[in-house]
Amino acid sequence: MTRHARPDANRAPNASRSRTIASTKTAALARRSTVVRDDASVVVGGRRRRAIVPRVFAPSNTRPPMTPHEEPELVDPEELLLVDGEIGPVTRPATKELDVAREAWYVRAILTADVYDVAIESPCEIAPRLSERIGASIYLKREDLQPVFSFKIRGAYNKMKQLSEEERARGVITSSLGCKAIIAMPVTTPGIKVEAVRRLGGEVVLVGENYDATQAYAKQRSKEEGLTYIPPFDDPFVIAGQGTVGVELLRQLPSVDIVFVPIGGGGLAAGMAAYIKAIRPEIRVIGVEPAGANAMTISLARGKIVKLNKVDGFADGVAVREPGRDCFEIIHSMLDGIITVRTDQIASAIKDVFGDTRSILEPAGAVAVAGAKAYCTANNFKGKVVAVTSGANMNFDRLRVISEIADQGGKEEATLLSVIPEKNGEFKRFVETVGDRNISEFKYRVQGDNARVLYSIEVSDIKEVQETMARMDALGFKTVDLSNDTATQFHLRHMTGGKARVKDERLYSVEIPERAGALGNFLDFISPKWSISMTHYRADGGQVGKVLFGVQVTENDREEFEKCLELCGYKYVDMTSNVAFRTLFGDDN
């Protein structure tokens, strides 16, 4: 694999000289696209803006100006649900002098960030097959090709370069480099990430079920042992390091309409937006979040930081409950908005990138690609866009699940459920009605006077799904589309059977950490008081596994039972009313 390094990357490290080179090159770029007026304002791309570029080369403060924040409110991710390709609302205050000063600080910090001792200038390349299918020119900014297969090395290294000799000697601790380094990670961290850190010589501490617990441990240990805490995203110098991706992008692809950036805590989006919107404000910068990890989306809509009460961990690299405060300051004032994507869309984007590059991204690394696809398709956009492929650290065993749901996200496969009469000749008539559609999966089960058929067919677009369903309904075969039903995709399509004669049965989906003993800990809360009637579990190699289970609970005991679920601390969803479950295993015909 060819690595694209900067021309001066192999020279002896010299912080002062490399900063001078970076500043000179970018200043020249800025001069070519910027007109400085006598009234201390600047016109960039035809839009008047306060003097950003002239201030860039003034002495920098230790930290940029920051607005005080109140404690975040706890919210549910489902508070704000967007349709495919829709940009979420932004409650944006009027620009203040503080905002202008902050933007100037960040542009200077990004221009002088020193990351190329450890990072490469990642290529920006067209995705030809994806572009042809979507109808837009889609470029990939390949941060997955960094030596550590992630953009995060930029920010962490830039932060460490700011440390004094004494601070470096004491060591650093981070919750997400030579000097002594301790890296705290959740116990559910994919093994490929853990082994990569150990191979680089860091001391790995696995602690906590989630990022919040791990971060708390890292901060506490840093105080106790006098270590310097290196945040994964919420720090001005970390943000500045990530912003170097934007500097490279404008040099590599001067003509671009939209840049799509993944958002977890917000460091990468903040850094890229701070630079791109200052130098080329006509370029739109759009963030992308998973629909179940949309903390920044809701924060922008409310105009203040919120904290999610639960988070979908499928794209674990961006599964953050609370955005960074430094990150929010920039994103709130400079980002053009955020769109959200589903799990199946992320999986489909992984497949798309593999088709064009033969590289396999992690789910978080494909979030921006999924967003670019959704936006261009929904808005019939035909211009030039860039999606940042932010990482490729994924356990190999996750590929099975991702492969299964990728076709759903790409609208290349539809999962349908039909109810047909159980009498001679009806099954043959059903198969003939499906027609020439290639059936990729099929489950048939007799239940009373009817049979339930759960099947997947290959399709090229949603119109073909609708045509198939219309033919089924015309012949009296009641049919529902379960392509986007999570319970079906993760569980029910792998199960067979019919209605069980179980009284007061309820169905729940619970997310349990994928580690030894987690399932036993969960059962301690509900057994033996309640009887379990059905279970299905399938590991997907991520931080959490989804367990589907049926349990006998009367309506009077339901509140007590769900309190037990809450005590165990795992995310759960009542799936009893799910249409697929009711049809396959319940009383619905």
Q: Which residues are catalytic?
A: 152, 390
Same domain flag for 348 and 268: yes
Is residue 81, in this structure, part of any structural domain at all? no
Rounded to two decimals, the pTM is 0.72
Is residue 52, in this structure, part of any structural domain at all? no
Same domain flag for 337 and 435: no
**Would the pLDDT of 48 be above 60?**
no
Q: Which residues in 76-161 belong to E strands, given as ranges?
A: 124-126, 137-142
Question: What pLDDT is stored for residue 291 in this prediction?
Answer: 95
209-217: long-range contacts, CB 8 A cutoff, minimum separation 24? 209/513, 209/569, 210/186, 210/321, 211/175, 211/186, 211/319, 211/320, 211/321, 212/321, 212/322, 213/186, 214/175, 214/184, 214/185, 214/186, 215/175, 215/184, 217/175, 217/184
Same domain flag for 397 and 523: no
By three-state DSSP, how is residue 272 classified?
helix
Question: What pLDDT is stored for residue 575 in this prediction?
Answer: 85
Percentage, residues of the chain above pLDDT 90: 37
Same domain flag for 284 and 397: yes
Question: What pLDDT is stored for residue 88 in this prediction?
Answer: 96
- The residue that leads in pLDDT, 501 or 301, is 301
Same domain flag for 562 and 430: no
Same domain flag for 440 and 312: no
Of the pLDDT bands very low, low, confident and very high (cuts 50, 70, 90), residue 180 is low
Question: What pLDDT is stored for residue 541 in this prediction?
Answer: 57
Domain boundary among 402, 420, 443: 402
Same domain flag for 110 and 211: no
Question: What pLDDT is stored for residue 487 in this prediction?
Answer: 76
Average pLDDT over residues 429-442: 77
- The residue that leads in pLDDT, 157 or 43, is 157
Q: Write the pLDDT tens digit of every residue in 186-209.
A: 887 877 778 888 887 778 889 887
Is residue 59, in this structure, part of any structural domain at all? no
Q: Cis ω on the peptide bond leading into residue 528 (within 30° of 0)?
A: yes
CATH number assigned to the domain comprising residue 564: 3.30.70.260
Cα-Cα-Cα-Cα torsion 18, 171, 154, 266, nearest 10 degrees, comes to -140
Q: Write the pLDDT tens digit of every residue in 324-373.
A: 999 999 999 999 999 999 998 999 999 999 999 999 999 999 999 999 99
Q: Which amino acid is at 3?
A: R
Total domains, the chain: 4
Is residue 135, in this structure, part of any structural domain at all? yes
Is residue 3, in this structure, part of any structural domain at all? no
What size, in residues, is the chain? 589
CATH number assigned to the domain comprising residue 197: 3.40.50.1100
Alpha-carbon separation of residue 240 from 113, 158, 273 (angstroms): 6, 8, 11
Same domain flag for 512 and 551: yes
Q: Write the pLDDT tens digit of every residue in 317-332.
A: 898 999 999 999 999 9
Same domain flag for 378 and 314: yes
Q: Strand 203-206 vs strand 228-230: parallel, antiparallel, or unpaired?
A: unpaired
Percentage, residues of the chain above pLDDT 70: 82
Q: Write the pLDDT tens digit of every residue in 373-414.
A: 999 999 999 999 999 999 998 888 788 888 878 876 666 788
Average pLDDT over residues 38-57: 39
Q: Which residues in 292-341 belong to E strands, given as ranges?
A: 306-308, 338-341
Q: What is the side-by-side strand order in the sheet with 439-447?
A: 439-447, 450-458, 413-421, 478-481
Question: What pLDDT is stored for residue 378 in this prediction?
Answer: 95
What is the torsional sign of CA 127, 119, 146, 258?
Answer: negative
Same domain flag for 260 and 117: yes
Is residue 209, in this structure, part of any structural domain at all? yes
Tell me, letter by letter, the H, E, C secondary structure of 370-392: HHHHHHHHHHCCCCEEEEEECEC
**Would the pLDDT of 235 be above 70?**
yes
Domain boundary among 432, 449, 484: 484
DSSP for residue 281: T
- Structural domain boundaries, residue 181: 172-226
Same domain flag for 517 and 467: no
Alpha-carbon separation of residue 326 from 156, 323, 578 (angstroms): 15, 9, 41
Same domain flag for 285 and 195: no
Please name every residue paired with 450 in a beta bridge, in sequence order, or none if there are none.
421, 447
Q: Write the pLDDT tens digit of every residue in 62-81.
A: 677 666 677 899 999 999 99
By three-state DSSP, how is residue 230 classified?
strand
Is residue 164, in this structure, part of any structural domain at all? no
Q: Say if residues 322 and 295 touch (Cβ distance below 8 Å).
A: yes
Is residue 480, in this structure, part of any structural domain at all? yes
Average pLDDT over residues 263-269: 96
